Structure 1
Amino acid sequence: MKYDVILFDVDDTLMDFKMTEENALQNTFTAFGLPTGLADYGAQYQEISKVLWRDLEEGRITIADLGVERFRRLFAVDQPELDTKAFGHAYLENLGKEVHLIPGAVELCSRLSDCRLVVITNGFASVQTARIGASPLCHTFEELIISEQVGYKKPDREIFEYAFSKLGLTDKTKVLMVGDSLTSDIQGGNRFGIDTCWFNPLQKENHLEIQPTYEIKELGELLAIVNGEERF
C-alpha cells in the first residue's frame, strides 16, 4: 500500500454541497418569508459566497464573520431590515440537516478500511459534525479536523502541522490529501509537502500553477492510487 493515511476534504469531495446548499437556502428563505428567494437571490449569493470563501483561504476574513457577512451583502439593498445574523444562524442549522453523499463515497471509504481516514475541512464545525454524524460515514473517520475548531485553515501549513501532530505522523510520503479545491486542498497539501489528489468530476481545466500529484474524476479511482497501482 502506497499511502497509509488519507486526508479527505468534505464538501464536493465526499458530500454533495450543491444539493446541500440549495436545499438549506430554500428552507431558510421560506422560513423568513421569502419563498422565491432561491430564484431571486441564488446567483447573487453564489458570487458573494465565492469571494468570501476565497477571502477566508487568504486570511482576510474569519469563518465566523463570513457566516454573517455573506447575508449582510446579499440583503443590503433589497431587504435592509432583515436580521442577517438570525438568517445566517438559521441557514447553518438547515445546512447541518442536509446529508447528500457523492456517489461512491461509502464504498470507497469501506474499501479503504486498512487506512487511517481523516477529515480536514474549512467548513463550520456545527455543520460538518452534524452532517457527517447523520451520514453512513459517521464511524469512518479517526479525526474530524475542522478549521473553526483548531484555529487554522487550508491552504495554510499550520492545519496540516496540527493534523500530523494530532495523528502522531512523521512520514509525509505515506499521507495523501484528497479534495476538489485546487486553491485550498491541493495548494495546502503541496505547501506542506504531501502528495495530493484532485477530485475533478466535471473535468474542469486547471488554469492555475497549482499542480496535484494525481487527478481523478470518480472516487473509485482513488483505490488504485492508494494501492500504488495507478497508471497516469
Structure 2
Amino acid sequence: MIKGILFDLDGTLLDRDQSLVAFLRNQYHRIQAFQCVEEHFFIQKFIELDQKGYVLKDEVYQQLLKELKINLPWQVLLDDYIDSFQHFCIGFPGLIDTLEFLKEEKLKLGIITNGFANFQMNNIRGLKIEHYFDEILISESEGLRKPKIEIFQRALERLGLQPQEAIYVGDHPINDIEASVNAGMIGIWKEDNYFEMPPNNHLTIKELREIRDIVEGNSL
C-alpha cells in the first residue's frame, strides 16, 4: 500500500525551462549591456551553456560574457540570478491540483532535490508549495546528492516510510528513477525529451495529473 510520494523539483514540479526563459527575458531587458545582441540569441546561448541546469551558473555567465564579448562582472549577474530567479518560477500544469489531491488522500509528501539550499527553498516558495510537504531534502543541506541511495533512505526514514510504501517522481533517468528504484521505491519517470528513457522497473507519466489516476486506480 502506498503511503507517501516524493518528488524531484527541477523538471518535475518546477517547469525550469519556462522559468529560465522568463527570468532571462527580464534580465536581458534590465541590463543594457546585453542588448548589443538580439534577445533570442542571448537566451539561446545561455540555455546552450546551461545544459539543462547541470552547469554551475558562475561558469555559464563567465562563458556567456566571453562569447558575447560583453564587459560585465559575472559575479553581479550570478547574484542577480540567485536573488531573482525565484520570482519567475512556473509550475507544470496540474501542480497545485495534484498536491491538493494527494494531501486529501492523507499521503505523506516529500521533495528530494540537488542544489544549493537557499536557492532551491526560494524556488519552492516561489511556486507557493512549501506547505504541502512534510519533508524537503536539499543536497547542500544534507551533504548528499542524488543518485546516492542514502539521500532517499534518509527521506524515507524522516517520513516514517518503508521503501515499498513510497513513490518517487522525477525527470532524470539516473539521478531520480534508477536511484529511487535501487533504493527500493517505485519510480515514476516524468517524461523529458532531453533525456533518454530510463531502464525498466518504472512507470511513466507525461503530466503531473496522471499521478492522481495512478493513486485512484491503485495501478502499481
* Residue of structure 1 in register with 2:214 after alignment: 225
Q: 1:192 aligns with which of 173, 183, 192?
A: 183
> Structure 1 residues 217, 77: CA separation in 2 closer, same or farther (over 3 Å shift)?
closer
Identity over the aligned pairs, expressed in percent? 27
Q: 2:194 & 2:215 partners in 1: Cα distance?
A: 24
Residue-by-residue CA offset, 1:173-193 (whole Å, 9 max, x unaligned): 001110122132112212323
Q: 1:147 & 1:212 partners in 2: Cα distance?
A: 25
| 5+ long unaligned stretches in structure 2 | none
Residue-by-residue CA offset, 1:94-129 (whole Å, 9 max, x unaligned): 211123221111111111111111111123322332
- Kept in 1: contact 2:177–2:198 (CA 8 A): no
Question: Residue 186 of structure 1: SS of its match in structure 2?
Answer: helix
Q: 2:125 aligns with which of 124, 133, 144?
A: 133
Q: 1:92 & 1:30 partners in 2: Cα distance?
A: 17
Query: How many residue pairs get matched?
Result: 216
Q: 1:159 & 1:52 partners in 2: Cα distance?
A: 20
Q: 2:125 & 2:71 partners in 1: Cα distance?
A: 35
One-letter amino acid of the structure 1 residue matched with residue 42 of structure 2? Y
Q: 2:122 & 2:58 partners in 1: Cα distance?
A: 20
Asked if 1:5 corresponds to 2:15, the answer is: no
Q: 1:122 & 1:151 partners in 2: Cα distance?
A: 10
| 5+ long unaligned stretches in structure 1 | 56-65
One-letter amino acid of the structure 1 residue matched with residue 117 of structure 2? A
Asked if 1:174 corresponds to 2:173, the answer is: no
Q: 2:217 & 2:101 partners in 1: Cα distance?
A: 15
Q: 1:15 & 1:183 partners in 2: Cα distance?
A: 19
One-letter amino acid of the structure 1 residue matched with residue 149 of structure 2? R
Deviation of 1:90 (Å): 0.5
Asked if 1:85 corresponds to 2:75, the answer is: yes
Deviation of 1:68 (Å): 0.8
Question: Residue 18 of structure 2: SS of its match in structure 1?
Answer: helix
Superposition pairs for residues 88-107 of structure 1, below 5 Å? 88-107=78-97
Residue-by-residue CA offset, 1:20-73 (whole Å, 9 max, x unaligned): 1011122223333214564223223223221771x7xxxxxxxxxx13112112
Report the structure, 1 or 2, having the larger helix content.
Answer: 2
- Kept in 1: contact 2:82–2:119 (CA 8 A): yes
Q: 1:191 & 1:37 partners in 2: Cα distance?
A: 46
* Residue of structure 2 in register with 1:145 after alignment: 137
Residue-by-residue CA offset, 1:161-205 (whole Å, 9 max, x unaligned): 332343344x110011101221321122123232100112x6x49
- Kept in 2: contact 1:196–1:213 (CA 8 A): yes
Question: Residue 161 of structure 1: SS of its match in structure 2?
Answer: helix
- Kept in 2: contact 1:122–1:148 (CA 8 A): yes
- Kept in 2: contact 1:23–1:98 (CA 8 A): yes
Q: 1:205 & 1:26 partners in 2: Cα distance?
A: 22
> Structure 1 residues 206, 37: CA separation in 2 closer, same or farther (over 3 Å shift)?
closer
